[in-house]
Structure 1
């Protein structure tokens, strides 16, 4: 039953921590939709079919929410971009199971440590339109010798911390960018950003959910049967 969990939780977590932006249409409550492309290593290829090609992230203030259907489970990831605290909720109705994983500073730093460090962000002055937005190109690199480019716009402002610490030196909302999470290279391209009613979002564990660590979730996956 738990074979889906490892890839499902990984996919949800990497997407949730990969999306974002920070700095002229200001949206404080709404949603952002991204298309996703993955640069998988041969070892990562088996998970390719389970990784989504598009994701929608809802947000209200600095807290964002992303849902992923993975086999019989619904995985919900909430994250506060101002503190990097998070909450993962796993709901498996067929097993009458509701699990919650809290993500604090220690978990954030542990996940960040496994990814290449991004740095040397430089605005190039090259500009073009991407969808409805005026965009500027940036270059950047990682500590493994990789070089990248991204496109950002100041036409759109999303809540502080939405892009995470890696992109804090970029002025504007990210329209297309590449980053890593848990070793998976992901390129995200903005498809749509919209103001819409989301309602209150919280990192409090809902009633009825059993709190687990990520290590316990992985142990369930490894030894929990079919």
Structure 2
């Protein structure tokens, strides 16, 4: 396992689902399928959500990763399950660690564009997002077709003018493109947002050391 895997995991968690806006379809509970290119690897993740919690699950090699967060942005856990190595670890972030991660996220400025297109069945409009600190700009695509529950990432796209379907996520100075492939309204399986009893609870530093140190 590489540390970049956990960096990607945290980046996904912080921007997995974004905003609530006036929309035709309002989802309160379900699963969103997300594709992402991050740090040289392609990832497809499942984002399980309801009004109070979010869980992002994906695989990398033999490892199954799940990132749990709450809607208030006060809880984060990264679960690592590697059956072939008999590893079941859950790293629980402290409030200070969560605050530090959130403070590193850029405050974006948004400028509506004129272009429109359909992405995976969603009617989208282009918005140019700019990071004032770096002057870097990113093309993102938002829709007013749907609305998902507000979560800890809301503030990053709250002023974008719609729910982001194709956008960027940021972590440790890196940006990655994320695309919502589909959203399904359904009951989330019991236990999705909790750490099973057979997982060892560890610190974030312990989790980083599993990758041999470094970033």
TM range (shorter): 0.7 to 0.9
> How far is 1:102 from its partner?
1.4
Residues 55-204 of structure 1 aligned to structure 2 (within 5 Å): 55-115=45-105, 117-142=106-131, 143-161=133-151, 163-200=153-190, 204=194
Cα distance in structure 2, aligned partners of 1:221 and 1:130: 36
- Looking at structure 2, the residues matched to 119 and 201 of structure 1 have their Cα atoms a distance apart, in angstroms, of 35
TM-score between both structures, scaled by the size of structure 2: 0.83
* Cα RMSD, aligned residues only: 2.5
Q: Of Structure 1 and Structure 2, which has the larger fraction of its residues in helix?
A: 1
Query: Alpha carbons of 1:89 and 1:72: their partners in 2 closer, same or farther (altered >3 Å)?
Result: same
1:9 aligned onto 2:6: yes
Contact 1:36 1:187 (8 Å CA) reproduced:
yes
Residue 17 of structure 2 is aligned to residue 20 of structure 1: yes
Q: Across the two proteins, how many residue pairs are aligned to each other?
A: 209
Normalising by structure 1, report the TM-score: 0.79
State the Cα distance separating 1:105 from its structure 2 match.
Answer: 3.4
Question: 1:82/1:172 Cα in 2 relative to 1: closer, same or farther (>3 Å)?
Answer: farther
Distance 2:37 2:122 in 1: 21
Shift of 1:156: 0.1
SS at match of 2:118: strand
CA distance in 2, matches of 1:33, 1:220: 28
Contact 1:101–1:214 (8 Å) recurs in 2: yes
Contact 1:139 1:149 in 2 (8 A): yes
Structure 1: any 5+ residue segments left out of the alignment?
A: 41-47
